[in-house]
């Protein structure tokens, strides 16, 4: 196991991961953020270098971590050989199995190996599966021209909005999710529509893996085109910064799927998996 610290190796890894799209997208987004200031203080672990067979991005070990915070204790994984990934996952030097953490990735083996390894380590797993989408070509994004009320403003989210975002997020509603969203607002691109009092009506933001997450419009302001406006604007912003405009959606979320299709999003053949690992002794303390 190796921790890549060298900036030249990390830049090389970013280029190498492009050869394995779309399966490597989550790790690619994390590595891009590491190479551009590392706002979420991540690091990269590989089984070997330069001919790696498995790679994991994880929180830097030298930073103090909350063992109950699965939002921040997030890992992205990509493997070329499943056995190499399993061996890396089993390695306690690669993964802190004493905390609640999540793994994200776009390969079927991720959920299989998590189930296998977690059982031996007395850890519960909760698996979520989503459709993965990407806006690969900024020229295919629609030219959204919305005649908004002059009292409304298209702008960026502010840290003061984190409480509202947490309450409306399907994975939120607790102090850790609010803190996590506040950090995302500070570190990564976001777009929102504000009323004349500075209150957000519709928004979309980006996470630590360069993924568009938590697109939401308050119920009373839906069907006015705001969701399409903020999502398209954010996708164009990500492209202008060199990031892939990627996102995920539940198969049952028909309104969001309809929105993404109207934006000419490409639905990928691979599914997105998020696996939350909770040690048995921490289950009672979990926010899940």
Segment 150-172, tens digit of pLDDT: 889 999 999 999 999 999 999 99
Which spans in 19-65 are helix H? 25-35
User: Which pLDDT value is given to residue 72?
Assistant: 95
User: Which pLDDT value is given to residue 286?
Assistant: 73
147 band by pLDDT with thresholds 50, 70 and 90: confident
Sheet containing strand 211-217, strands side by side: 2-4, 42-46, 54-59, 74-79, 101-105, 266-279, 123-135, 245-249, 211-217, 200-206, 190-194, 153-155
User: pLDDT over 70 for what percent of the chain?
Assistant: 99
Is the pLDDT reported for residue 62 higher than 90?
no
Euclidean distance between CA atoms 287 and 177, whole angstroms: 9
Q: Same CATH topology for 2-131+272-285 and 137-243?
A: yes
pLDDT tens by residue, 234-283: 999 999 999 989 999 998 999 899 989 988 999 999 999 999 999 999 98
State the pTM of this model.
0.93
Instruction: Give the Cβ contact number of residue 84 at 10 Å.
Output: 17
Computed over its alpha carbons, how large is the radius of gyration of the chain? Answer: 19
**Fold type of domain 2-131+272-285:** Aminopeptidase (3.40.630)
Q: Which CATH superfamily is domain 137-243 in?
A: Gcn5-related N-acetyltransferase (GNAT) (3.40.630.30)
The mean pLDDT of 125-133, rounded to a whole number, is 95
Q: Which residue reads 């994984």 in tokens?
A: 77
109 band by pLDDT with thresholds 50, 70 and 90: very high
The mean pLDDT of 191-199, rounded to a whole number, is 95
The mean pLDDT of 52-63, rounded to a whole number, is 93
* 156 torsion bin: left (phi>0), alpha (psi -120 to 50), beta (else): beta
51 band by pLDDT with thresholds 50, 70 and 90: very high
Euclidean distance between CA atoms 203 and 188, whole angstroms: 13
User: pLDDT over 90 for what percent of the chain?
Assistant: 86
User: Which pLDDT value is given to residue 288?
Assistant: 62
Q: Where are the domains of the chain?
A: 2-131+272-285, 137-243
Q: Output the average pLDDT for the chain.
A: 93
Euclidean distance between CA atoms 276 and 100, whole angstroms: 7
Q: Which residues contact 136 (CB under 8 A, 6 or more apart)?
A: 244, 245, 266
122 band by pLDDT with thresholds 50, 70 and 90: very high
User: Which pLDDT value is given to residue 234?
Assistant: 95
140 band by pLDDT with thresholds 50, 70 and 90: confident
């Amino acid at each position: 196991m190796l921790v890549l610290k060298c900036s030249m190796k990390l830049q090389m890894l970013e280029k190498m991961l492009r050869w394995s799209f779309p399966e490597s997208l989550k790790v690619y987004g994390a590595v891009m953020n590491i190479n551009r200031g590392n706002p979420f203080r991540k690091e990269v672990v590989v089984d070997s270098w330069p001919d790696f067979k498995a790679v994991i991005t994880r929180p830097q070990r030298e930073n103090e971590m909350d063992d109950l915070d699965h939002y921040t204790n997030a890992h992205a994984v990509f493997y070329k050989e499943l056995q190499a990934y399993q061996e890396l996952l089993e390695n306690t030097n690669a993964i802190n199995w004493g905390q609640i953490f999540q793994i994200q990735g776009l390969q079927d083996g991720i959920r299989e190996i998590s189930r296998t390894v977690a059982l031996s380590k007395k850890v519960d797993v909760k698996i979520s599966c989503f459709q993965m989408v990407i806006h690969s070509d900024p020229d295919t994004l629609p030219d959204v021209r919305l005649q908004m009320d002059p009292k409304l403003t298209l702008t960026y989210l502010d840290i003061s909005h984190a409480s509202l975002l947490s309450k409306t997020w399907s994975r939120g509603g607790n102090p850790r999710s609010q803190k996590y969203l506040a950090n995302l607002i500070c570190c990564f691109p976001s777009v929102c529509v504000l009323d004349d009092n500075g209150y957000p009506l519709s928004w979309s933001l980006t996470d630590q893996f360069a993924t568009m997450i938590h697109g939401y419009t308050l119920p009373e302001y839906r069907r006015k085109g705001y969701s399409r406006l903020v999502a398209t604007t954010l996708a164009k912003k990500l492209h202008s910064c060199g990031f892939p405009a990627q996102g995920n959606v539940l198969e049952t979320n028909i309104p969001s799927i309809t929105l993404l299709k109207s934006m000419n999003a490409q639905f990928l053949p691979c599914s997105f998996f998020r696996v939350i690992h909770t040690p048995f002794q921490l289950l009672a303390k979990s926010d899940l």
